[in-house]
């Protein structure tokens, strides 16, 4: 068709096939193109912003909440866990019963039989609690009460066992340096008191204390040093005030929560020969700083060991849907050949790897702490007696932590107490014995969270774990859908432009004709 421009009347209507530029520019409208795609774009954009905010703020927010909750301040969860642990706590005692005491006195190898467990339910309490003015530290006296649990025990605590005479070992450690004349006088004294190398006592007597003439005399010779005239494995531990701790509350720095500041009024121990050995490292064992890592060494002070010790990462395991880190007492802690442990060997008192001489904090009595059955100790200690059968699953000191809160879900503090039996030629009871470390008991301090707390804490941890995944998943998915919806909108926009371009009337030529 040819149109003469000279006859064009501006009042004539514009032909429909002539494109309107403003119509072209406004033809692309997302909702008109695809309303669902536009909504997806908007939601994805909002989700991306929320995801990025969550990615940046989630960990700091959780850490801030944990720092507030876990501080040992009245009204907070940390104080409740510290003052009244929501756990079932039992001390399982295993006694080394000697079946051949006469042969041992004549130089034979002790034949030992493990008797137990004899189970005691533990109740923890904190007495004389006092905060510092700035609430940075708290002082207290730990009070533990033990109740014999017949139902969980292998037998009654009235059963008799034969064990090494610990009061005699204490006396022997002193008199071995006496002159021969004085040692002969000690022989007369021992026979007069009818003292034996081994004693036959009930489990209750061994745990709670039994009277002994040697201790009765020693308490009169050294008044104020000995508390009473009885000896018992659990005597000092049961419902007695014999420790005083000052620890940090963590109110200003949660990484310092429950860290020991002083013990029995001193900031540094005086039991050992080096400053490093005498340091008070770590917590009091009640709480631990949150956010535990596999490379962390978990330090605590243990009054029974008279020293600080550390636990090392062993493995990761599942407890239902919760991930736990198992930390154990590695062989390095009692490895006296390591330079870091040389300070625990006062005056060459270390007899080998795997046993710790605690005589310096137990009135000079040569007592030794080790793992049960001399697990991870020099083989010579197991060969000196018969009956040792070390088993990693039964005898390893282990604690299972939730790595987020560092709350122990399960605890098994397993240690063995032994005493050195010296050979003293001038003492008739000891002139023929083999000088060995003689085990007397080992124990398993077992703690498990109560079912209610275990369930509630597990739910919180699962939710935190899910949120930790969501903070990555949400922005990732949002970004993906944002790109897809943007691409789809762009394709739709290109298609409409292409359709509009194809529907345009050709431009006027130079002659004024189409």
- What is the Cα–Cα distance from 237 to 263, expressed in whole angstroms? 16
pLDDT of residue 40: 75
pLDDT value for 26? 47
The CA distance from 33 to 24, in Å, is 14
Pairing of strands 398-401, 322-328: antiparallel
Which pLDDT value is given to residue 449?
96
Question: CA 506 to CA 346: how far, in whole Å?
Answer: 106
Q: Are 382 and 452 in contact (CB under 8 A)?
A: no
pLDDT at residue number 464? 87
For residue 163, the cross-strand partners are 199
End-to-end Cα spacing for the chain: 8
- The angle subtended at Cα 381 by Cα 378 and Cα 383, nearest 5°, is 110
Distance (Å, rounded) from C-alpha 469 to C-alpha 106?
Answer: 68
Per-residue pLDDT reduced to its tens digit, 195-254 = 999 999 999 999 999 988 888 887 776 655 566 678 889 887 776 767 899 999 999 999
Residues of the chain with pLDDT under 50: 1-8, 14, 18, 21-28, 30-32, 510, 512
- 216 touches 400 (CB < 8 A): no
What are the beta bridge partners of residue 91? 120, 445
Sign of CA dihedral 367, 372, 378, 383: positive
Angstrom distance (rounded) from CA 36 to CA 489: 11
pLDDT at 8: 47
Per-residue pLDDT at 64: 93
- What does pTM read for this prediction? 0.83
Looking at residue 24, its pLDDT comes to: 47
Measure the CA–CA gap between 304 and 233, rounded to whole angstroms.
11
As a whole number of angstroms, the distance between CA 178 and CA 65 comes to 63
pLDDT score at 298? 97
Residue 75: phi and psi, rounded to 5, are: 95, -10
Q: Given this model, what pLDDT does residue 506 score?
A: 55
What is the length of the chain? Answer: 514
Q: What is the pLDDT of residues 310-340, one digit of tens each?
A: 999 999 999 999 999 999 999 999 999 899 9
Identify any residues that bridge with 120 across adjacent strands, giving them in sequence order: 91, 148
CB atoms inside a 10 Å sphere around CB 442: 24
Per-residue pLDDT at 90 = 97
Contacts of 326 by beta carbon, 8 Å cutoff, 6+ apart: 313, 314, 315, 316, 317, 398, 399, 400, 401
Distance CA 272, CA 275 (A): 8
**What is the model's pLDDT at position 15?**
52
State the CB neighbour count (10 A cutoff) for residue 403. Answer: 19
Report whether 421 contacts 430 (CB < 8 A): yes
Give the pLDDT score at 31.
Answer: 46
Burial of 144 (0-12, 13-18, 19+ CB in 10 A): middle
Closest CA to 429 of 213, 200, 176, 203: 176
Say what percent of the chain tops pLDDT 90.
60
Token pair for 370 = 């080790």
Q: Give, as one character, the DSSP assignment of residue 402.
A: -
Phi, psi angles (nearest 5°) of residue 391: -140, 120
């Amino acid at each position: 068709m040819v149109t003469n421009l000279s006859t064009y009347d501006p009042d004539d209507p514009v032909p429909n096939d002539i494109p309107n530029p403003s119509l072209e520019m406004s033809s692309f409208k997302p909702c008109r193109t695809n309303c669902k795609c536009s909504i997806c774009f908007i939601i994805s954009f909002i989700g991306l912003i929320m995801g990025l905010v969550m990615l940046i703020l989630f960990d700091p927010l959780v850490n801030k909440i944990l720092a507030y909750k876990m501080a040992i301040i009245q009204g907070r969860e940390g104080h409740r866990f510290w003052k009244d642990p929501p756990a079932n706590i039992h001390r399982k005692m295993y006694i080394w019963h000697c079946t051949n005491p006469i042969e041992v006195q004549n130089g034979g190898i002790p034949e030992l039989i493990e008797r137990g467990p004899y189970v005691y339910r533990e109740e923890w309490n904190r007495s004389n609690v006092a905060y510092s003015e700035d609430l940075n530290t708290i002082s207290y006296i730990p009070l533990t009460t033990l109740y014999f649990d017949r139902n969980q025990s292998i037998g009654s605590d009235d059963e008799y066992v034969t064990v090494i005479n610990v009061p005699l070992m204490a006396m022997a450690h002193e008199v071995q340096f006496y002159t021969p004349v004085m040692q002969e006088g000690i022989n007369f004294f021992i026979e007069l008191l009818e003292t034996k190398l081994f004693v036959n006592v009930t489990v209750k007597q061994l745990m709670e204390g039994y009277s002994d003439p040697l201790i009765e005399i020693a308490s009169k010779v050294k008044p104020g040093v000995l508390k009473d005239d009885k000896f018992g494995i659990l005597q000092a531990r049961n419902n007695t005030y014999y420790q005083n701790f000052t620890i940090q509350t963590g109110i200003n720095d949660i990484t310092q929560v429950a860290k020991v500041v002083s013990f029995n009024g001193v900031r540094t121990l005086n039991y050992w020969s080096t400053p490093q050995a005498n340091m008070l490292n770590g917590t009091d064992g009640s709480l631990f700083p949150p956010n535990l890592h596999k490379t962390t060494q978990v330090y605590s002070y243990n009054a029974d060991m008279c020293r600080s010790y550390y636990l090392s990462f062993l493995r990761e395991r599942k407890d239902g849907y919760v991930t736990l880190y198992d930390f154990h007492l590695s062989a390095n802690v009692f490895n006296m050949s390591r330079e870091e442990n040389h300070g625990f060997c006062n005056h060459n008192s270390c007899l080998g790897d795997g046993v710790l001489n605690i005589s310096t904090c137990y009135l000079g009595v040569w007592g030794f702490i080790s793992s049960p059955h001399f697990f991870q100790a020099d083989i010579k200690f197991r060969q000196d007696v018969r009956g040792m059968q070390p088993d990693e699953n039964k005898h390893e000191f282990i604690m299972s932590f939730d790595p987020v809160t560092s709350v122990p879900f399960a605890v098994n503090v397993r240690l063995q107490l032994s005493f050195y039996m010296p050979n003293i030629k001038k003492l008739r009871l000891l002139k023929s014995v083999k000088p060995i470390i003689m085990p007397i008991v080992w124990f398993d301090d077992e703690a498990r969270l109560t079912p209610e707390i275990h369930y509630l804490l597990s739910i919180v941890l699962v939710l935190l774990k899910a949120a930790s995944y969501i903070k990555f998943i949400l922005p990732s998915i949002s970004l993906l859908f944002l790109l897809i919806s943007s691409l789809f909108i762009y394709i739709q926009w290109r298609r409409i432009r292409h359709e509009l371009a194809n529907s345009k009337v050709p431009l006027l030529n130079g002659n004024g004709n189409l």
